[in-house]
Structure 1
Amino acid sequence: MDLRFSDKDEAFRAEVRAFLATRLTDDLRAAGRAATSAFSEKDWNIGWLKVLHARGWAAPHWPVEYGGTGWSVTQRYIFDTECALAQTPHLSPMGLKMVSSVIMAYGRQDQKDFYLPRILSGDDYWCQGYSEPGSGSDLASLKCRAVSDGDDYVIDGTKIWTTQAQFANRMFALVRTDNTRKPQEGITFLLLDMDTPGITIQPIITIAGDHEVNQVFFDGVRVPKANRLGEEGDGWTVAKYLLAHERGNTWGAGITVSLRRVRRIAAETGVLDEHGFRHRLVEAEIALEALTMTEHRVMAAISRGALMMAESSMLKTQGTELMQRVNELGLEALDHAVMPYEHRWTRPGANDTPFGPGEAPILIAQYLNNRAMSIYAGTNEVQRNIMAKLALGL
């Protein structure tokens, strides 16, 4: 398999690297390096989004007519890879990758005209209202109720694990509008303002000490029916389309950065001299090569117009599980320095010194936060069921 890019694509890579070298400021770079999960805090990811937006590079995967770049699939892959290797702040996918895709596919023209420019500019910051207590992997069992009342829906219920809801001014949500039909047919997709009366946000602090997720309560929240995306009862179809965009990510470059960090720290602590550790590290590096080759195969197939559904689940499964393996190696690399941990040490600009290697708090927090990787966006057990059905016909 030839993994080399064309001369044109290599020239494009050089252009991206030159841009990153000049426009990724020291503060933004520090924030990217300090990221302990798939999300950077709002100030940092919006700051980086505005830099990209000024260049016209905020949403490379969007169609040109909505503000996309017109890049090829290969160019988009190169751009994502170089940003990951440079450790830019993580842009929130909720607006740019997720709700934007369904607004383009199912939205009315007035919804496209209003929401899409605000997503590009960072004026709107989105969160996702899907999971509920008792309705996670079995999302069709959700109970958050939206009752029709004239031109509005009135929402009562709750959503949980709502990432960065404390920062968001908008939410896209699945609500139940009909209890008389089969579960999937009674769900509707709504766009709502987070400052609407009746919405309460309760923080959930992770085991790493981060305030990244929340529980959101709805008490008589009125949402105009004009904020519905698609028809009433079509929410399940809209959500399935969105989930394909949520699961499709480039994993190899981010794992490469993590492996380099682990190798560097293991050398510092002396753990790299242990044969067993080196063996497990090399095994992870080989698995990364296999994952990267799979990403290239998928990229090539998409370039030829193929619709890759099972492969999206495959990459999500392999990417998250390999990242978790690397996180575990990171704890081994820290040796005795793995024990002391303060969340404040992970913050960019923290003014006290962590115990052990300087990057120790980042490795510990990543290990703790990334345990959820194989759960969110559909558990890896669910992904294996999807692969069995779509790829094997089982």
Structure 2
Amino acid sequence: MLHTTKEKTASAMATALADAGNREIVTVCALYGDLGHTGPALVAADTAQPRIEYEARWGQVAELTGQPLPWWPSQLRRPEVIRLWEPGAPAVIAAVPTDDRERTLRRAAENPAFSKTARTALTAMADAIRNGRVENVASEIKIFSDHSDRLQTKLVIAARHDDTAHPIDVEDDEDVLEAGWREIVASTQPDAVAAANLALGYRPELLPYGRFTDVRARAGNAADRWARRLTICDPTAGHATLAEGTDVDAFFIDPLTDMPVVRTKSDGDKSAKWLFYAPLSLPAGRGELASVVLDDTVWITTTDGQIHPAPCTSGEHLWWGDGWGDRPTEAAHVINQLLDDLAAPIGLDGHWSKAPAGLTRLLNKEHGHGSNLTRATLLHARMTPPDPHH
């Protein structure tokens, strides 16, 4: 019996045994990962036909062994833990191992180049990940224990987690955490790059960035107008997260929003790209929204002559046109807020119900790339009452 959920392991082991001339083991079972009718689900392969996998039943295997079968939580399913258990013994108490994310963050938190605030932000994320891993083990044990008790399956929990230091008290002051991550993404430390990449996947809302965006660099388009004010600079951790896996031409900063920007090199017959994060808000004191330009993404022009990528949160995206039943309420909601206050911090919670129906209907049309919707057009659309037929 193999205590792993990797695919095709039953077949692989049965094949290896058959190739080695095995004459003792008839069937190899491996965990499938979820629950079956008589206990944890199993897949099996016979050494006589090792390439064929089929479903096996936990209860039948337990009957064949004449005793309840041991089960280990996924994070404690390690050889050194499994070897400590034997039939009839109590569950082994073992520490939940750290993962690469936690190690990366704790290593960065020890870097003296970072301020106390940045180190606090790094430690808080590491602690939250640690708490989550321990809680996942506890939840997994409860699910399989409850299932076993309810169906009276022959299952023994062979290992439990050491929870003597759990849960860790995690710093949760959002202002402190956001200040720390602003420093980290602006850093040139390699530790900052690794931490920023991790944070983008774990809690991107703590970073000072909105949605990742890429647009083609074409003469005369909205991005070209915007790029004229960009300032070339040395790369930071924020730039590194944008540039990962690309052939970079140059690094820039938007002096009005402090957003990092990367320009890629041309790729054969394809033009270069601008890679950037949407800002979370637009700078104050720059006049009013003058128009919206629809060109690869949504752009905002202002009465002081500037053009900006429209602000957007990290978890949403801005688009227009027929969405196959979905409607562009995100863009409509953002535009609605900016019409009243150009510098408003953008929130997109509940955009599907808060976006004005007239703006949503305007953006639901198939506007061509480069279309310019004036302030007058937007205000008129916003005032249009909902269509009673929709």
TM-score, with structure 1 as normaliser: 0.21
- Structure showing the higher strand proportion among its residues: 2
TM-score of the two chains, using structure 2 as the length reference: 0.21
Q: Which has the larger radius of gyration?
A: 2
| Higher relative contact order (CA closer than 8 Å, sequence separation 6+) | 1
